[in-house]
């Protein structure tokens, strides 16, 4: 993790992804049951401390929301589990160490599944450890005062400074504080120890842990700028009201909680407030940055739990209690309404918990039958996604997949060798694209690449993993086509037999490696040629404003690379931190100066990383035309467009740099064939790309 594969999922993430692979089936069932029980136990304990009406509201809303989730319910379970175990640790005094032990085990597992779960687990463990220290200091203050009082009252001889009592008092106080600090730090240390033990048990090395964390945060850092999906306005307003209501309930409860006689009451209230608001903020960003039905489910499942369950915290103010309950009910209603709007035309089904309970009971009581059914479905998917021609051609080579459906390489039992950021949609900033670029310029690059250009969210196709697409055009040739997919083959050094026969003249440029000709070689003849790095020459640069054209007319006969930089204002940075930046669109004009009908989404970090500007590659068909030297569209201009209301979010000046790609692009191999099956192997229109949350 972190080196060969760069992703926000940890080494145990495969246990929480809603996919059946045929491997680790028993382990997956055990983990699913254990996770459900580990969340249900603290949730029920806390719910039983509420009144009967609020008890059923908490459990009922949680069951309805989680039972209606079609995928990725584990994220919600982990967050709810961390919240409930943490809340119990903050409340209990007699059985606190038992609850702390449960929290540490749960948090260590959660931290190994996903980066966002690691953040939530770290916040929870930190809050519990700090609160435990403050609680011990407050509880021990009275004992400390009674212990040092006799020492301070001792009489000394006349004329001798009264320092012995002061020194012993300071020594005793320091000793007690050190003991309390060690106890609290032990909680953090044991959590880190269990996390590292799990990391090693999963087959990972501690050496790659820093790379996993740094590159995981690198991926998470620009997620909100590139992966945003805006919800309907009504859903957004209701979601904001739900967050504001939950925040009001949290603040009000934190101001009234804990005993007034506690000398460190304010400090404990601050710790509680920071922890709860942090979880609320993470939930808001998780649910409404990419506000599709999957992620809003997470929001609607967690946010109502927060104001309702914190009512179990000790509070003597009756008005605060009643108002807190009202806030909790309002938050529950607002969250569910927001979810219903996002789900349209679908809706929540109240009977779904019963159906799921029956279905899960049958599956657990008959595990062999369950495995047999799932294996049959898996084989059916293998048959539907079969690419027999590609499997035949690439049987002895390594394969990568350019696009967002690498499962086609896996289910065809190919020798899958993915690049570090293995799904094109996830390579959404320059640093991540650089990792893939370095992979394709190394000896580890694959022999073949299956290509299916189909970006998510109506993005401009050349933006996704742009340097990899450029590298494939330079260092790979078109070998075959099968239904909707293309197979590209890495160029090879000529074999001895090839060297004895006439070959096309080699082209050289000053400062470049000698390129290799594109004569086809059978598998096993010759070695892979050293990949040629891209050679870019700056031809023009400048600034434009939104809606103004970046003119490419003078460079229409060149293969060009365009980098566009748009910077947010202070208001834009604030909006980006709290929510997500507004949509930026890229408009394209063809050779005749006519704008294309479609305007593409173009996230700012992807524009800054650059993309293939000319020729225009929108799908596999245009890629085939380019490899076959058929006529292709050479755009005459590009423009960046935003909504008028979003002008305050972006700086008015847009910088651009246009480069000439001096490398020669690949060609179609002489043995190229394109096979069409009946029925054709085409990704389903509803086939969902697994979009991960960092």
Distance CA 64, CA 78 (A): 17
Instruction: State residue 493's pLDDT score.
Output: 59
What is the chain's mean pLDDT, rounded?
Answer: 86
Q: pLDDT tens-digit profile of 639-692? A: 999 998 899 999 999 999 999 999 999 999 988 888 887 677 667 544 544 444
Compute the average pLDDT of residues 402-412: 92
Q: pLDDT band for position 353 (50/70/90)?
A: very high
pTM of the model: 0.87
CA triplet 274, 277, 278: central angle to 5 degrees? 80
Q: pLDDT band for position 264 (50/70/90)?
A: confident
Distance CA 416, CA 408 (A): 10
Distance CA 472, CA 667 (A): 11
Instruction: State residue 9's pLDDT score.
Output: 92
Distance CA 279, CA 82 (A): 10
Instruction: State residue 361's pLDDT score.
Output: 93
Instruction: State residue 495's pLDDT score.
Output: 46
Q: pLDDT band for position 320 (50/70/90)?
A: confident
Residue 127 makes CB contacts below 8 A (sequence gap 6+) with 86, 90, 271, 272, 274, 275
Q: pLDDT band for position 147 (50/70/90)?
A: very low
- The arrangement of strands across the sheet holding 448-451 comes to 415-416, 398-402, 448-451, 485-490, 476-482, 668-675
Q: pLDDT band for position 244 (50/70/90)?
A: very high
Residue 243 makes CB contacts below 8 A (sequence gap 6+) with 280, 284, 303
Lowest mean pLDDT among 87-101, 233-247, 425-439, 619-633: 87-101
Residue with more model confidence, 513 or 338: 338
Secondary structure (3-state) at 657: strand
Cβ-contact 403, 424 below 8 angstroms? yes
Q: pLDDT band for position 159 (50/70/90)?
A: low
| Strands 611-614 and 560-565, sheet pairing | antiparallel
Q: pLDDT tens-digit profile of 174-196? A: 566 777 778 889 999 999 999 99
Instruction: State residue 258's pLDDT score.
Output: 83
Instruction: State residue 174's pLDDT score.
Output: 58
Secondary structure (3-state) at 589: strand
Cβ-contact 386, 379 below 8 angstroms? no
Compute the average pLDDT of residues 441-460: 93
Instruction: State residue 314's pLDDT score.
Output: 82
Which ranges constitute the DSSP H helices of 458-559?
466-475, 496-499
Instruction: State residue 325's pLDDT score.
Output: 84
Instruction: State residue 93's pLDDT score.
Output: 73
Lowest mean pLDDT among 94-98, 350-354, 480-484, 639-643: 94-98
Give the chain's end-to-end CA distance (angstroms, integer): 14
% of the chain surpassing 70 pLDDT: 87
Lowest mean pLDDT among 151-155, 472-476, 496-500, 548-552: 496-500
Which residues is 530 bridged to in the sheet? Answer: none
Cβ-contact 450, 487 below 8 angstroms? yes
Lowest mean pLDDT among 350-359, 500-509, 653-662: 500-509
pLDDT of 506 > 50? The answer is: no
Q: Which residue has the tokens 């440029």?
A: 509
Q: pLDDT tens-digit profile of 63-101? A: 999 999 887 788 999 999 999 999 999 987 778 889 999
Task: Count Cβ atoms below 10 Å from residue 652 Cβ, excluding itself.
Answer: 12
Instruction: State residue 501's pLDDT score.
Output: 41
> Buried b vs exposed e over 509-539: b needs ≥16 C-beta within 10 Å?
eeeeeebbebbbbeeeebeebebbebebeee
- The ranges assigned to domains in the chain are 13-152+181-343, 352-382, 385-495+516-675
pLDDT of 599 > 50? The answer is: yes
Instruction: State residue 684's pLDDT score.
Output: 59
pLDDT of 386 > 70? The answer is: yes
């Amino acid at each position: 993790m972190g080196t060969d594969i760069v992703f926000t999922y940890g080494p145990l993430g495969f246990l929480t992804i809603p996919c059946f692979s045929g491997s680790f089936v028993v382990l997956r069932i055990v983990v699913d049951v254990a996770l459900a029980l580990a969340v249900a136990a603290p949730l029920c304990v806390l719910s039983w401390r509420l009144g009967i009406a609020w008890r059923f509201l908490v459990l009922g809303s949680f069951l309805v929301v989680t039972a209606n989730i079609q995928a990725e319910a584990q994220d919600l379970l982990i967050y709810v589990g961390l919240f409930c175990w943490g809340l119990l640790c903050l409340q209990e005094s007699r059985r606190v160490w038992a609850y702390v032990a449960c929290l540490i085990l749960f948090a260590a597992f959660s931290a190994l599944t996903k980066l966002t779960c690691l953040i939530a687990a770290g916040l929870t463990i930190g809050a519990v450890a700090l609160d435990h220290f403050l609680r011990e200091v407050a509880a021990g203050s009275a004992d400390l005062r009674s212990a040092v009082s006799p020492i301070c009252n001792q009489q000394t001889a006349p004329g001798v400074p009264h320092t012995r009592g002061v020194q012993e008092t300071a020594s005793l106080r320091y000793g007690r504080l050190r003991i309390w600090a060690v106890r609290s730090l032990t909680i953090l240390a044991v959590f880190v120890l269990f996390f590292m033990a799990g990391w090693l048990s999963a087959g990972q090395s501690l050496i790659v842990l820093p790379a996993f964390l740094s590159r995981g945060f690198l991926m998470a850092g620009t997620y909100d700028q590139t992966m945003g999906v805006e919800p309907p306005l009504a859903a957004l307003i209701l979601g904001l009201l739900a967050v504001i209501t939950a925040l009001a309930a949290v603040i009000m409860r934190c101001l009234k909680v804990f005993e007034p006689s506690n000398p460190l009451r304010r400090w404990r209230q601050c710790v509680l407030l920071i922890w709860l608001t942090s979880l609320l903020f993470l939930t808001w960003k998780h649910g409404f940055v990419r506000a599709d039905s999957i992620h809003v489910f997470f929001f609607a499942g967690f946010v109502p739990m927060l104001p309702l369950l914190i009512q179990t915290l000790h509070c003597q103010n009756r008005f605060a209690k009643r108002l807190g309950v009202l806030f909790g009910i309002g938050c529950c209603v607002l969250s569910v309404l927001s979810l219903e709007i996002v789900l349209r035309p679908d809706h929540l089904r109240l009977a779904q918990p019963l159906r799921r309970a029956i279905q899960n009971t049958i599956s657990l009581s008959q595990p062999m039958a369950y495995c047999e059914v799932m294996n049959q479905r898996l084989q059916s998917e293998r048959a539907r996604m079969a690419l027999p021609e590609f499997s035949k051609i690439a049987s002895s080579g390594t394969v990568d997949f350019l696009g967002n459906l690498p499962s086609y390489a896996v289910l065809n039992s190919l020798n899958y060798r993915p690049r570090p950021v293995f799904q094109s949609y996830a390579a959404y900033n320059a640093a991540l694209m650089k990792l893939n670029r370095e992979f394709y310029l190394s000896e580890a690059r694959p022999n073949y690449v299956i290509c299916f250009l189909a970006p998510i969210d109506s993005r401009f196709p050349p933006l996704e993993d742009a340097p990899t697409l450029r590298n494939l055009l330079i260092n790979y040739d078109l070998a075959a086509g099968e239904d909707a997919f293309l197979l590209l083959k890495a160029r090879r050094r000529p074999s001895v037999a090839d060297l004895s026969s006439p070959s096309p003249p080699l082209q050289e440029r000053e400062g470049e490696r000698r390129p290799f000709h594109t004569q086809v070689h059978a598998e096993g003849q010759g070695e892979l040629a050293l990949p040629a790095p891209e050679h870019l020459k700056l031809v023009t640069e400048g600034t434009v404003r939104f809606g103004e054209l970046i003119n490419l007319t003078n460079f229409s006969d060149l293969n060009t690379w365009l980098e566009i930089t748009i910077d947010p204002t202070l208001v834009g940075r604030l909006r980006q931190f709290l929510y997500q930046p507004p949509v930026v669109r890229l408009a394209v004009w063809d050779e005749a100066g006519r704008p294309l009908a479609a305007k593409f989404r173009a996230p700012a970090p992807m524009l800054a990383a650059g993309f293939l500007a000319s020729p225009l590659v929108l799908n596999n068909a245009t890629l085939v035309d380019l490899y076959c030297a058929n006529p292709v569209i050479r755009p005459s201009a590009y423009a960046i467009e935003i909504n008028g209301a979003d002008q305050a979010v972006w700086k008015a000046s847009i910088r651009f740099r246009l480069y000439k790609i001096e490398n020669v692009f690949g060609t179609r191999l002489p043995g190229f064939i394109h096979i069409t099956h009946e029925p054709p192997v085409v990704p389903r229109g509803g086939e969902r790309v697994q979009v991960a949350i960092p």
